[in-house]
Amino acid sequence: MSHDKPYQAGRIVAEISDFVLPMGLTVSLIKLAVNNITLYGKPFSFASDQVGSFQATVTESDLAAFLESRAPVGLKKFKIRAADGKLYIDAVKTMIIEVPAKAVCTLRIQGGTQMFVDIESVEISGVGAKNLVQSQLDQINPVLDVTEFPIKANLQTVESANGVLILKGTATP
């Protein structure tokens, strides 16, 4: 069978697991689906005249590990809870002693390619410290940038529930 001629197919679905972005964040699962594709054999590639769907999943533990590795000065021991469309973050702030820090964050998509984490509220040992933590978070944002993905993707929504972040959008093969 010759692989020089293109083949037509109705749909291709692909999953990529444990994808580590150059910035260090692990995306636990990327799902792609594209309809009306043309497959080429040498080298293997595919094309489509349609835009496909894209979904990326980031777990609480992967996000906590990323924040720990890129921790703002004095923050460590991150624990993340993704629920109700928000991130609930517990960490330890080291000043003279270690004190608990809690933050509630919202997620924002910017430009269809980046996801930012924004501070809604912060408490460090019972005292509000929103400006301090936001300035440190600005050094980490954007937390996710799909221009670093091996496909051309456009983010449309981000959900936070049941322990994961789910980003959805479109992908162009």
Nearest of 46, 33, 26 to residue 144 by alpha carbon: 26
Q: What are the pLDDT digits (tens) for 52-108? A: 999 999 999 999 999 888 876 677 888 999 999 999 988 887 777 888 888 899 999
Two tokens, residue 115: 């996801």
In the prediction, which pLDDT does 170 show?
96
Contact between residue 79 and residue 87 where contact means Cβ atoms under 8 Å apart:
no
Contact between residue 21 and residue 148 where contact means Cβ atoms under 8 Å apart:
yes
Whose tokens are 């972040």? That residue is: 165
Gyration radius from the chain CA atoms: 20
Strand 75-83 and strand 164-172: the pairing is unpaired
In the prediction, which pLDDT does 136 show?
65
Taking the domains of the chain in order of start, what are their residue ranges?
60-146
- The model's pTM: 0.84
Q: Give me the residues paired with residue 56 across strands.
A: 30, 167
